[in-house]
Amino acid sequence: MSGRVERCKALVLRHIDYGESDRIVSFLTAEFGLQKGFAKAARKSRKRFGAALEPFSQVVVHWGSGRGQLWSLQEVELLNSRSGLRTELERLALASYSVELVELLLEEGEAHQQIYELICAFLDYLSQAGDTACARLLLELRLIYLLGYIPHLLHCSECLKIFADEPVRFDAARGGSLCLQCASGGGIEISLGTIGSLARSLNVGHQQFSGFRFGQRTLDEGGRMLSQVLASVLPRSLKSVKFL
CATH architecture of structural domain 87-243: Up-down Bundle (1.20)
Helix axes 216-233, 192-201, angle to 10 degrees: 70
How far is the first Cα of the chain from the last one, in angstroms, to the nearest whole number?
42
The sign one gets for the Cα dihedral 107, 111, 112, 115 is positive
pLDDT of residue 2: 47
Class of domain 6-81: mainly beta
Distance CA 28, CA 42 (A): 19
> Is residue 71 within 8 Å of residue 61, measured between CB atoms?
yes
Contact status, residue 56 vs residue 15, Cβ threshold 8 Å? no
Where do you find CATH 1.20.1440.120 in the chain? Answer: 87-243
Residue type for position 19:
G
Q: Where in the chain is the domain with CATH 2.40.50.140?
A: 6-81
**Averages of pLDDT over each 10 residues, the chain, 244 residues:** 78 92 94 94 76 94 80 93 93 96 95 97 93 96 98 97 93 97 95 96 95 95 97 94 86
**pLDDT score, position 50:** 80
Give me the pLDDT at residue 166, please: 86
Contact 191, 106 (CB under 8 A): no
pLDDT of residue 1: 41
Which pLDDT does position 67 carry in this prediction? 64
